[in-house]
Structure formats: C-alpha cells, structure tokens
Structure 1
C-alpha cells in the first residue's frame, strides 16, 4: 500500500535563500506526524508546501499514491486547520462547517448528515446557530476542526492550531485532537513549536532546525536517543543536561572525568571503549536520582553541591554546576535539599547519551 504522504528531496528557495533543504519524509495511513522546531525553522513552510499553498523549488510530494507536486490546493484531498481558525464572521457555525461542501455541490441531505455527525463528535451541537464572534477560543477551534472533518480528506493539516489558547485549554484541546485521531484513524500532519505537544500527540516526530531535518522518529526514539545536541536540548522539559567531560580508556571501559569549580572532579565508570578524549555527556534530569533510590550495575553515586532548589508539586528540581554548565536533577517532592549543602546523587549510566563536542552528533 502506498504511503499516505511521501516527500522526496524537497527544496524551497525564496530567491537565493534556501528555506527547506533536501526534505525526505514518509508517513503511512493513520500516522500522526508532528513537525516541531524553533520559530523560523521552516516547519510552517513545509506544511504550506504539502497543502500546495507554496510552490516548491524542486523535489516531489505524493499524497495517497498520487503525485501532487504541481496540483492546486483544492484538488489535493487535504483539509487544513489554521492557527487563526479562519472562520467567516457573518455565517453561523453550521454554515461555516458546511460552506465547503455547498461550494462543491454536495446535496443538502448529505451536508445535514455530515454536519450532525461532526457536531456530535466535537460536542458543538448547541453552538450551530451561533456566530464565531459569540464563541470562546476553544469553541472556535472546534468549529475549525469540524469544517475540516466534514471534508473526510486523505490528509489533515494543522498549523499551530492551539497556540492562541490559554494553557489549560491547550491541554484539553490536545487530548481532544488525540482522541479524534484515535477514533477516526485519520492521517494528520501537525505543526507546533511546543515540544510537549509534539511528544503527546505524535506517532512520528520530525525535528527541524534552519530548514534541515535533524531527526525523524517516534516520541520515544527522539527523547531517549537524540541524534545530536540540538535535539537533546530542544526536546524535553527541562531539557537534557549536556555536560562536557573527558574520557580516559581503562580496562574494558572508560572513566569519565567531569570538572567542577572549587570541588574535586567527578569520576564515572562507563562500559564503553569507543569514546574519544573530549565528550559531551547527555543525561535527562529524571536520570539523576537521590542516593539509594536506584540500584543496579549501571548506577553510580557522586556528591554534588546544591545551587538552587525549586519545589514544583510532584517534583523537586535541584540545580548544580558540572563541567562549567548548570545541571538540573528532577527529584522526588519529598527531597530535602538546601542551597550550599552537599547532596548525594545517583547517575543512571544506562540512560546516558554521548555526543561529539564539535559536531554535536551522537557517538
């Protein structure tokens, strides 16, 4: 079966400026692909290229086995949900949702049937007679999604659809979209700069920077095995700690030496022989634990000096300095720690990632 979306060697230039560089992405039917990255990385431009709103410079785009590279947006079998919702202010909710079907000459009976089904699905039956101006942000978002759903397209495209909502509503709408995807088995491409949104929604994530794909993978692959220091730092809240260290070969493994200002260096034994002299050690905040909390051959203890303690409900964040960098440990809420005092922490070396300092690539 053909992939639902197949992008090959896509380039997009504005004059002599390259915006997208050699983009290759494939997703299967039912996948939820999230394009994530900082502002200006090219993710919205890529979405617009898939939609046909931007002409590509070279490469190809196939949707459901058909070459759509030079096909107009209305013939691409897609439906798009914008950040601005783009609703007609003078039309009722019902008319906003059915307008596209009316334009395409779909019978009134079919319009009514689809409207009723979608309104029930999104729980907006009581809003159908209202105008967009009488709705909250979350309700408008539902109407915009309803307008896309009645199309029943091969591919749904979402361009930062939740960025205008407050934090609580974002979480609610995120779970709505996830449930919708699960219920419909629909194929979706979703743009966001919010890495938590990406992690919670996606079956597959594309991390972008400067118009170049940094990594493609499942949320678990991106989080646990970042391809480089950019992905490690971008994905995760707080992000992965990136600690400069020196690796010394010793027997069947390596001894890592991590400098600290005003304190003895930390030494950790790693069962790997392929590490060069200077490395960057990547360790997630949750893989630094209080002494005695973890056990096993890969867990090693070191005393750190506490710089700052931040209670955060279910967690307590403790920061310290290693290798000239501020390091964060995500500890239990009950953790007793005070700035200026020493605290025993355990490193889970099985969860550690190593990076080459110059290129930032994973070793």
Structure 2
C-alpha cells in the first residue's frame, strides 16, 4: 500500500538557524501519526510544512502519491484543526462548519447533508444556532473538528488541539478524537507535547528533539524499547529509571553492579544481556520494580533498598529510593508497607530492562 504521506529528507531553516534536519517519515492510509517532543523541538513547524503554511528548505513532501512540496495549502487536500480553534466569532456554529464548503462552491443540499452528519457524529446538533462565544472550550473544539470533517480530505492535521482545555475535558476530548479516528478510518497527523496523549492516540509516534527525529515506532515500541536516553526519559509518567551501573561478564550471564551509598553495591545477574561495555546506564520502568513476593519469574532479581520517600497515588503507591546517587521510582500496590527511612526488598524484572551507552546515549540491547 502506497503511503498517504511521505516526507523525504526534509530540512527547514530560518537563515542560518536549522529548525528541522533530514526528516524522513511515511504513513499509510488510516494511520494516526503523533509528532511529540518538548517545546521548541520543531513539531509544529513540521506540521506547518506538511500543510504548506511554511516553505521547506530542502527535501520533499508527497500526499496521496503526489509531490506537494511547492503546492499551495488550498490544493493539498488537507484539513487543519488549530490550537486556538480559529472560529469566526460573528458566525453561528452551522455557518462556521459550512463556510469552507460555501467558498468552494458546494451546493446547498450537500452542505446541509454534511452539516447534519458531522453534527450527529460530534453531538453538537443543539448548538448549531449558537455563536462561539456561547460555547465552552470543549464545544468550540468540536466545532473546529466538525469544520475539518466536512472537507473529507486525504489528511487531517491537528496542532495541539486540546492544550487550551482543563485536565478532565482533555481526557474526554482525547477519547472522542480516538473514537472518531476508528469510526472514520481517516489519516491523521497530530502534534502534542503531552506524551500521554501521544501514547493513547497514536498508531505511530515520531519523537523529536532539536529538530531531529529520535525514534519512529508504535506506542508499544517507543515505550518498551526506547532508542536512546532522551526517548526513555521523555516517554512515560513517571519516567523510566536511568541508573549508572557496571556490567561484568561471568559464566552464567552478566553481573550488573549498581553503587549504593554507604554500603556494598546492589548486584543483579542478567542471563540475557549479551555483550555490554563496562560502563552502562540501566533503564527500568517503575512498574517493572515490585515489592518482593509480588513479582516472580526467572528474570526477577531481588535487592535490599533504603526508601527515601513514599507517594500514595490512589490505586498505586510510588516508592522512591536512591541507587548510585540516582533516585529510583517503583510503582507498588496501594497497600504497600513501605516507609521512608526503612529498608525494603524490591524485585527487579530484568526481562524488561533496557541498557544504554553513557557516552552516546544509544540503546545497547
């Protein structure tokens, strides 16, 4: 199947300042691509380049098999939902949604039909005669999405559409957008700095830092096998534990030594690590560290740890200890007996471990 969007060797610069560097991304029809990264990483600039709102410095952009590199935005067969909603304040909801069709000369009957379909999908039928000022933030966002839906484009582009909403409404709208994607089977490109949004919405994620692609993959690949230290730290809440350690090969596998303040090092034995350099960064998600007795298996190793802090979080309790001068967070069950200042035996699931190079930051296993 040919990609619906194919970005090849894309560069974007403002004078001597490089914003995007050698971007290569391709997505299939029906994909939900999320561009994620910290502020200033270039994700919104990349979206604007796809839309044609920003000219590119080098490379090419194909949409639906056609080279759109130098094609104007109106001829790219895209629809965009902006962070600021960008609704016409003097027009009713109905007119905001149908305005684009009217400008393109779509007949009145088709306008009414599409308006009715979209209003039903987004559950905004009762708001069609209101103006944007009479709507809540979530309702305005639905109207902005409705205006895009009536286009029936090859590509939907979303530029941080939920960032103006409160936390509860963000979760609700996120679910609505995901349902909409499943129902329509549409191809979407979505920009966010929120890694939870990225993980829950995407079929494919592009992680950006400083205008450079760090990793492209499914949410599962990005989360479970981060390509480097940046992705490991950025994707996940709480973040992956990243602990300096020493690796020493022995007959039965690899001995992993982690310094411990005021005592002998924590020693773990990994039978699947393979060849590792002596100096490594050990990466383990908080949920892969459990209280002794709550995790079993051939890859589970136990070690005594001194607890620094206990943070109840409803269904889970986050327990923070310190290894090698680095804080380590474990996600334990709500009824844990952990107390600050006391020692506790924790179980480390080395079947889920990631190893990184301290020098390059790249994944080793």
Which residue of the partner structure matches residue 186 of structure 2? 186
- Cα deviation for residue 296 of structure 1 reads 1.2
Secondary structure in 2 matching 1:292? coil
Structure 2 equivalent of residue 211 of structure 1? 211
Q: Find the residue that maps to 2:213 and give its secondary structure.
A: strand
What is residue 153 of structure 2 aligned with on the other side? 153
Q: Is contact 1:309–1:339 with CA below 8 Å preserved after alignment? A: yes
1:118–1:146 contact (8 Å) kept in structure 2: yes
Q: Show the counterpart of 2:326.
A: 325
Q: Which residue of 2 aligns with 1:50?
A: 50
Offset of 1:196 from its aligned partner?
0.2
Q: Quick one: distance in 1 between partners of 2:31 and 2:252?
A: 43
Q: TM-score, normalised by structure 1?
A: 0.99
2:197 aligns to what SS in structure 1? helix
Distance 2:314 2:263 in 1: 31
Q: Distance in 1 between matches of 2:42 and 2:298?
A: 44
Q: CA RMSD in A?
A: 0.6
User: Any idea what the Cα deviations from partners look like across 1:132-163, whole Å, max 9, x if unmatched?
Assistant: 00000000000000000000000000000000
**Shift in Å, 1:263:** 2.4
1:165-244 pair list within 5 angstroms: 165-244=165-244
CA distance in 1, matches of 2:263, 2:135: 59
How far apart in 2 are the matches of 1:2 and 1:346? 46
Partners of 1:252 and 1:273 within 8 A in 2: no
For 1:312 and 1:219, how far apart are their aligned partners in 2?
A: 24
1:27 aligns with 2:37: no
Cα offset, 1:2, TM superposition:
1.9
Deviation at 1:165, TM superposition (A): 0.1
- 1:1-363 residue pairs with structure 2 within 5 A? 1-271=1-271, 272-363=273-364
Q: Which moved more, 1:101-110 or 1:256-265?
A: 256-265
Return the offset for 1:41: 0.1
Paired residue secondary structure (1:307): strand
Equivalent pair of 1:228/1:362 in contact (CA under 8 Å): yes
Secondary structure of the structure 2 residue equivalent to 1:226: coil
Q: Distance in 1 between matches of 2:251 and 2:216?
A: 36
Cα distance in 2 for residues equivalent to 1:233 and 1:336: 28
Distance in structure 1 (CA, Å) of the matches to 2:263 and 2:186? 56
In 2, the alpha carbon distance for the partners of 1:226 and 1:131 equals: 46
Q: Secondary structure at the match of 1:216?
A: strand
Q: Distance in 1 between matches of 2:290 and 2:34?
A: 31
Unaligned stretches of 5+ residues in structure 1: none
* 3-state DSSP of counterpart to 1:13: strand
Secondary structure of 2:143's counterpart equals helix
| Aligned equivalents of 1:344, 1:223: Cα separation in 2 | 26
How far does the alpha carbon of each residue in 1:325-346 deviate from its partner, in whole angstroms, 9 at most, with x for none? 1110000001111100001100
Aligned length: 363
Q: Deviations over 1:70-93 (max 9, x none)?
A: 000000000000000000000000
How far did residue 273 of structure 1 move? 3.3
SS of the residue 1:88 aligns to:
coil
Write out the 4+ residue segments of structure 1 that deviate beyond 3 Å after TM superposition: none
Secondary structure at 2:355 match in 1 = strand
- Tell me the TM-score normalised to structure 2 length: 0.99
Q: Which structure 2 residue ranges, 5 or more long, are not aligned?
A: none
Q: Distance in 2 between matches of 1:294 and 1:314?
A: 17
Shift of 1:14: 0.3
What are the Cα deviations for residues 58-105 of structure 1, in whole angstroms up to 9, with x where unaligned?
A: 100000111100000000000000000000000000000000000000
